[in-house]
Each structure stands twice: as structure tokens, then as C-alpha cells.
Chain A
Amino acid sequence: MDAQQQWRTEVEQLVRVHGRSRTALMPILQDINRAHSYIPEGAMLAVSSALSVPRTEVYGVASFYAYFSVKPRGRYVIRVCRTISCAKQGEYHPAIATLITELGIGFGETTPDGLFTLEQTNCCGMCDQGPSMVVNEDVHVRLSEASVRALLTEYRQRAGAELKH
């Protein structure tokens, strides 16, 4: 099967779950984004023909929302809250400095092993328990230097275990 055929197959499966109407566009893109950490061009083309939505519009939607990406990202996308209750005076808490050092990358970048992409996010509704961050779909609060290190270890182990299977 060529790559495009594979995308067609994958998208057809999603169409079976979410339907073939325009309203299925977001749920389908969300599933693709979750499975691959981003929405590859081939997937957008397949979605466009499956739902009869012009390509440019599929791209428009995929590039509009902050949780979607049209560029490859790591297995775990870490989104650090940069809004005021979490980042006092616009400065990050030392826990976030630790996170950045431990990962060895800047915002918008992915670690060379492909495990983590670091991003900033606006308020994720955890302001009473900041500093906070969202990793894929999980939220982590009251971050400290120690908890950040422990979380990274945990995600590395989880990825290791998943890869073995």
C-alpha cells in the first residue's frame, strides 16, 4: 500500500466512527492529531476527499487551532501555562526553568529522541493550582522542580514500555 492509500484507509475508519458530514471534520482531525501528534499533509488530503471539504479549508482548520499541528511533534506535547496566575510578572516559576533545562530545548522545539515537544499555552483553567502544564490530555499542577523531574522520568518510562509492546 502506498502512503496515500494508507491515509485513505485510516480516514475511512474514522469516517465510520464520526460520520461523513462536515460536522465530523473536527473529531476526525482530533483523532488524527492524537494518534500522530500532528496532522500530516497526506491525512489532510484524505480527509478532504472523504468529507468533500476543500483542501484549503481542511488546512485552514488544522492550522487555526492551537492543539492541532501541521508539523511533526514529539510523542508528548508539553504545554506550559504562560498566563498570569501561573507566570507571575510574566516570569516563569523555577519549576519551568528546570523543565526547560532538563529537556534541553526551547519552546516550539522537539527533543532529538522525538519524545517531547515543548509549547506554551494560555490559561488552561488551573490558575488556583499553578504553575500548571498540560501534557497531551493530562494536566499537571503545583509544579515544582522535583515534580517536573519525576514527571519526565515517568513519561520516558511510559514511552519505553509502549515501544516494547
Chain B
Amino acid sequence: MPESKMDPKSVRGFVGNKLSFSDISASEALKSAAQMDGEDIVAIVNASGLKGRGGAGFPTAKKWEYARGQEGHPKYIIGNADEGEPGTFKDRLILTDFPELVFAGMAIAGRAVGAEFGILYLRAEYGWLRAHLETAIERCRDEGMLGKVIGGAKDFSFDISIRMGSGAYICGEETALLESLEGRRGDARNRIPFPVQAGYLGKPTVVNNVETLAWVPCILLKGPSWFASRGTRKAPGAWLFSVSGDCKRPGVYEYPFGTSLRQILADVGAEDAKAVQVGGASGTCVPPAEFDRTLTPGDLATGGSIIVFGPGQDMFAVAENFQHFFADESCGQCIPCRVGNQRLLEAIARMRKVGLDREAERNVRQLAQTMSVASKCGLGQMSPRAFLSILNTFAGDLPAKHA
């Protein structure tokens, strides 16, 4: 049982603008899902163009359709609440303010693919949210939003349990998360089979991010075209951004895809930023000359993290901090990632002391290249990105080379 009795509202934080979630009723959404069959639900989500909000951006309806077509039973829906990317905390806000939308999203996903069991995998760092979420699940059961007969439909049953992580960034990766649920180290699995074919305990499993799930009730109630009409054609919908760092109003903001970085910086009070890290430690560091770029897959893809760096920041100290993170969090399974991240960390520390020469630069770039092509999962493939983008733009922050 959870130890923490902390009130989540006490650390809720600042919400910069009105969130679409705030006028959606989870129980209404479940009632309308109860009127549909799985195929209808998949069709609606497909029409909305909803893509996964965990970072990978896979079309949600496609995932559900694959799972729906699988023979294996039982099937599982997993809510991925292992939000670990540095600078990301939007799921925390969703879980604090709108947990029933997440649970309804899971139940609706369950109806869509034919699953009756859901597991919310909550990161250890959010252990203080567990009691709050257990209470919300109880409330949903009492109100007929979870359990045997949901929304009055006898063939709509779904229930959710919570499982905790124990502090491993890699478990946000869906196959590592499954390993952890099965009582193993969080080592990423080979894909093929995909989790939708053989996931939790070898059964068809859908793993969706918390934000992705919370959008589902909204799409059902307001219609797919409401959702699709916001954002861009390739990237429909709005997105929650977690903004932190050197800005006047850090917090959670909702924007449609296609919003420019410049607009966000104005809203959060950071017009003088020296750089903005989009997508957390595995993202890109953007210099002021590129602030007109937009947040959208294809330009600046992101799992929602925006970290602002003010005029005084030494960007290689930032790079070293990010690199330390990866060296710490590599699951250790494959060499390019396990050793590469450690070497890259050493190289950055050295650069900060003695500056950069051509040969050192060639070596780190080669190392980064090897890591991104030869690592098994996203962690090792993406980890050199922040460093490379800082190297490309902010080499001036390094000391002059001592000859």
C-alpha cells in the first residue's frame, strides 16, 4: 500500500492556458463508447489522426487495429505513466487533475481492441500520486465507469490496477516496461513480435501514453473533426507542453501542433533565451536564429519537454548534465550505448577543460554516429542528439584550445 499521504494539489504547479481536458466528462464519453462497437471506436480515433504522445508518434488507431485483429486472449491495455524524459511533467498534471479521463481512455481502448484488463504503470518518482489515483479508480468503479457493466452496456467490462516502477528511465520504453511488469530488469526487447502481437505475458498488449489516453474521451465527445481541425494536416490536434528552465512562467501549456517556438517563449516570459531544448535530453537544442521553427513532427518533434536556457548558461555544462543522465540510465544491455554514453560523457568533460581540437571533434562525432546506428533501442540511438546540436551551435562556449 502507498506510504505517501501527500495531497497532489500541493505541488500541482502552474497551468498557462485553458486545457481542452477541463470541460470533458469521462462518464459521458464512456456512455457514448458503450453505444459503439470496437470497429466504430477505431474508425473515430483513426479519423481524428491522434498520434502517440510519448515521443514516438505512432498513429493510435493503427496500434489499436492491430491489437483488435489479434487472436490471443486475454488482451491488455497499459497506461504508460512512466514519464521520465528530463523536463517533462505534463502527465503528472493530467494524473493530478484528470485521472478519470486517462482511465476512461483505457476502458475505451479496451472496448476497441477487446481487452478487459488495464494496468497503469506509474513511475516510482510519482509514488505520491498513487493514493490519489487509487481513490479515483474506486470512484470510477462506484459510478459505473469501471467494472462489469460500463455505461449501461453488458458487453462493456473493464478494470484497472496500478503497478509501480522502481526508478528506471528505460522503463518508459514500452518493451522495457513490459519486462518490468513481468518481474524482470527493464531491458528493452527486440521488436518483432511487437507488443500488440505478444506483449504482457505474451498476450496482445496496447501500451499508450497517459496524454494519448486522455485525448480519447475528448475525441469521442467532441468528434474527430474537432480534434483534426486543430494543429496541422500531418499532425492533428493539440499537445501539452511542459515548460521549465529560465523563464518567468514555467508550467504546463496546451498548444496545437505547428505553434512556433517564438510564440511559446513569449507566453512563458523568456524572449531573451539563449537556447531552447526541445524534447528533453534526447531532443534538439535550438538557437535563437531558429526560434521561428514549429513544434510538430517533421520539424521539432517532442514528447512535450521544453527547457529554456537563459543568457548566462554555459551550454556545454548543459550537455554534460544531459550526458550524465544517459550514462546513468543506459540499461547496459548493448555496448554502443553502455560504453558509448560513458565515453561521450568523458569527452564532454574533457572538452570543457581544454577546448576542442579537430581530431577530438572527429572522434566524438564518429562515436555519436556509431551509437545512433548501432544501439538497440531509442535511448542509445537518441542520446547523442542533444550534445551534437549543442556542439553544432554553441562551440563558442568552450574554452579556447590550449595549444
Contacts and interface: CB of A to CB of B under 8 A. Distances in A.
Contacts of B180: 26
B311 interface: no
Nearest to B250: A128
A138 B5 CA distance: 8
Given A25-B183, A123-B84, A129-B11, A83 B325 contact: yes
Interface residues of B, number: 60
Interface stretch (A63-71, A99-107, A148-156): A63-71
A159 interface: no
Nearest to B90: A125
A141 B251 CA distance: 14
B86 interface: yes
A135 to B, nearest CB: 10
A49 B385 CA distance: 44
A19 to B, nearest CB: 11
Contact of A128 (B169, B184, B251, B329): B251
Interface in A79-99: 82-85, 87-91
Nearest to A58: B183
A66 B87 contact: no
A121 B169 CA distance: 11
Contacts, number: 152
Interface in B325-352: 325, 328-329, 331
B166 A139 contact: no
A57 B45 CA distance: 41
Contact of B166 (A68, A85, A124, A130): A68
B194 interface: no
B11 A126 contact: yes
Contacts of B4: 136-138
B125 A125 contact: yes
A91 B201 CA distance: 44
A127 B244 contact: yes
Given A57-B184, A122-B328, A84 B14 contact: no
A164 interface: no
Contacts of B3: 34, 136-137
Given A26-B180, A65-B168, A84-B245, A138 B128 contact: yes
Contact of A125 (B83, B201, B313): B83
Interface stretch (B316-324, B353-361, B374-382): B316-324
Interface in B243-287: 243-245, 250-252, 277, 281
5 contacts: A26-B163, A26-B164, A26-B181, A89-B321, A122-B86
Interface of B: 2-4, 6, 11, 13-14, 83-89, 91-92, 123-128, 130, 163-169, 180-186, 201, 242-245, 250-252, 277, 281, 307, 313-314, 317-318, 320-322, 324-325, 328-329, 331
